[in-house]
Amino acid sequence: MTNVISSNLGYPRIGKKREWKRALEGYWNKQLSEKELLEETDAIRFANLKKQKEIGIDLVPVGDFTLYDHVLDTSAMFGVVPDRFNYDGGKINLETYFAIARGTENAVASELTKWFNTNYHYIVPELENVTPTLTENLPLKFYKEAKEKLGIDGKPIILGPITYLKLSKGYEENDFSNVLQRFIPLYVQLLKELEEAGVSWVQIDEPILGTNLSKEVIQKAKQVYEQFHNAAPKLKLILQTYFEHIIHYEEIIEFPVQAIGLDFVHGESLELIKQFGFPEDKVLAAGIINGRNVWKADLEAKTDLLETIYQAVKNKQIIIQPSSSLLHVPVTKESEAQLDSNVKNGLSFANEKLDEIVTLTKGLQTGKQTIVQELARNNKELEQFNHSTHRNNEIVRKEVEALGITDAQRSLPFAERIKKQHEVLQLPLLPTTTIGSLPQTQEVRKTRTKWRQGTITEAEYEQFIRANITKWIHIQEKIGLDVLVHGEFERTDMVEYFGEKLNGFGVTEFGWVQSYGSRCVKPPLIFGDVSFDTAMTVKESIFAQSLTDKPVKGMLTGPVTILNWSFVHDDVPRETVQNQIALALRKEIKALETSGIKIIQVDEPALREGLPLDEKKQKAYLDAAVYAFRLATSSVQVQTQIHTHMCYSEFQKIYDAIDGLDADVISIETSRSHGEIISAFEENTYEKEIGLGVYDIHSPRVPDKNEIKQNISRALKTIPTEQFWINPDCGLKTRSEDETVGALKAMIHAAREIREEQLTFQK
């Protein structure tokens, strides 16, 4: 084997045009049998493997594909199933697997939360009352399948035990070692079986090592990997980290593994190698191509970086790979026929990134002179992209440079302005509302497609949108909601929609990435300076408000979320781009307020998502995020009420920042964490108004009224009734009309009963 080889850490699961999504949803809707689902997803998986082999990747990953989530797959492999799903041992069937992820009529789904600082969500393992067992060696299954059917000697991927357990719940922190010991024999058995099957390389993912773990945990992790090495000494283990540099570098490079994967895109991995060196007995797996963004790499610069890394590695053994799994980027830019050619030239999706890796590998193997043509083509395309006319806007740059502290402050403190808001809005105790979006039916999606294709006119499309707004305003009034929404039927996605309206953005046709389950999003591209063009939401908001005497919320996505859920070019500081977006939204908010909208919701579900893994960097990020949100929202009048919505489970860590946003009302996605977030309010005094999601919208099950009452009552033990709002825990875009109406009716009935109880008590 040559000393320099190429590798991939994971490939997008969804297919070029989301074939994976359609297969899953077809199965859930009973349009496909289990056999048909597996046949269709097998075909996607095989195509993914073949493509990587065709491109020329030496170490093709196997076991990275999933029917829902790779963390859930690990739980299924170890028999980690919560009691409420009535699992009685053995291999977990599809019904139970999807029940854990989506819930059933009688059992709530397991918690869904962010995968580190990405927009991917994983199913949180629940370890309470669980005796783990190896139900099926999935990495071995996928390895054999790739070898026998495709002739690929793949690299099995395993989620490491430290990361898996640190992402789990159902045990006390001081019991970590004991829980770990219950899983080690299962990992050992799994690895021994891989060794017996003739597997060469195994990738064990431990991204948790990029966080601030204690030295005690690092020592425990080293002991674990010693056990792995002793049990399967012939296996070549890659201890794979990503998303940041590893915090305890000196200790971790001494782990008894054959290779260590480091991220050279994010963090300070190169500086660590220069300062502390790299072991002569290990291969360096260098994450050189950004696995989380879509912009073409500067291959000249990457070649120079690789040469620097190569010189720092004494044994000259290097694996060249992406900085992380490519599940965070779309499959290929080949399908993008509508994009501006200069912008397209600047893009690199999964397949193109693998091409870049193969080119860089060849250059390091055989010399830079052997890739001269590839470097010349890369330089030309980058030059065309960088000199594109829509990239630079000096006016908005100067506007951002002139900003100060006072540009991000409300004119009155919350305690004074909330009184004026109550006088204007006249809402009841425990006001009810939804988060914003309402069901995007197949008819809505088809009609939007017809409009985009030009088969219906702009006027016909607008009439259709208005008909849906009218229908749902009447439904909301009939159900009895206190604060209504227009439903966002005109929006494809809460970020992409604004990407289509703001200067400096581009949108793709097929640039989909998985967010959770079958839910895929299409992040817009931020390739230039961002600026306001024309009103984006005013027309629909005014129309909705004209249909009712109840307040209708204006609905916007906040600057931090737009930034974090877009593919942002990295030649301008992210904080600068964030403030550009905030200034554009500030103008939109002013237009809504001038049009008579009294409540404006600026959603920030991704605020925590961008939080650096290294705690030393977190304060600077949060300070910038708070400033941008306040910059967008602070110019409104005192009586205009600002709402925001967020998705968090680890609320405590960013409590001060959320308070610092100075929003009048926040709503937080909490139902899957079973009210655990409430502990943050037991330890802090939160003075503003708040809605903790009282039922889970990610599951198709319609909650029972008493279940919702229980969630409300639990929150009211800590949060004063006068501050509490009642709402679902997220938008209702993905739910059917029947599910939405049924769940909202249950929520309203629960709210009314609690309200009556509270009013009676107060008398």
CA angle 712, 116, 5 (to 5 degrees): 160
Go through 599-612 and write b for each residue having 16 or more CB atoms within 10 A of its CB, e for each that does not: bbbbbbbbbbbbbb
Number of other residues whose CB lies within 10 A of the CB of residue 742: 15
Number of other residues whose CB lies within 10 A of the CB of residue 405: 8
Sheet holding 665-669, edge to edge: 553-557, 599-603, 641-647, 665-669, 689-692, 724-725
CA distance 426 to 478: 19
| 20 carries a ligand binding annotation | yes
| 645 carries a ligand binding annotation | yes
Q: Are strands 259-263 and 283-289 parallel, antiparallel or unpaired?
A: parallel
| 21 carries a ligand binding annotation | yes
| 730 carries a ligand binding annotation | yes
Question: Choosing from 390, 422, 698, 749, which is the catalytic residue?
Answer: 698
| 100 carries a ligand binding annotation | no
| 609 carries a ligand binding annotation | yes
Known catalytic residue at 229: no
Number of other residues whose CB lies within 10 A of the CB of residue 27: 21
Q: Are strands 567-568 and 553-557 parallel, antiparallel or unpaired?
A: unpaired
Find, among 578, 595, 558, 599, the residue nearest to 691 by Cα: 599
Residues pairing with 262 in the sheet: 286
User: Where do we find the tokens 């195509």?
Assistant: 47
User: Where do we find the tokens 């989301």?
Assistant: 18
| 260 carries a ligand binding annotation | no
CA distance 194 to 135: 15
| 114 carries a ligand binding annotation | yes
Distance of CA 267 to the CA centre of its chain: 20
Contacts for 567 with CB less than 8 Å, ≥ 6 apart: 293, 294, 295, 329, 511, 523, 524, 525, 526
CA angle 402, 407, 413 (to 5 degrees): 165
CA distance 63 to 184: 20
The dihedral through the CA atoms of 522, 523, 529, 535 has a sign that is positive
| 201 carries a ligand binding annotation | no
| 472 carries a ligand binding annotation | no
CA distance 13 to 15: 6
CA distance 258 to 235: 9
- SS3 for 694? coil
| 459, two tokens | 């006027």
| 436 carries a ligand binding annotation | yes
Q: Are strands 259-263 and 503-506 parallel, antiparallel or unpaired?
A: unpaired
What is the set of active-site residues?
Answer: 698
Binding residues: 18-21, 114, 119, 435-437, 488, 519-520, 565, 603, 609, 645, 647, 669, 730
Binding residues for L-homocysteine: 435-437, 488, 603
Binding residues for 5-methyltetrahydropteroyltri-L-glutamate: 18-21, 114, 119, 519-520, 565, 609
Binding residues for L-methionine: 435-437, 488, 603
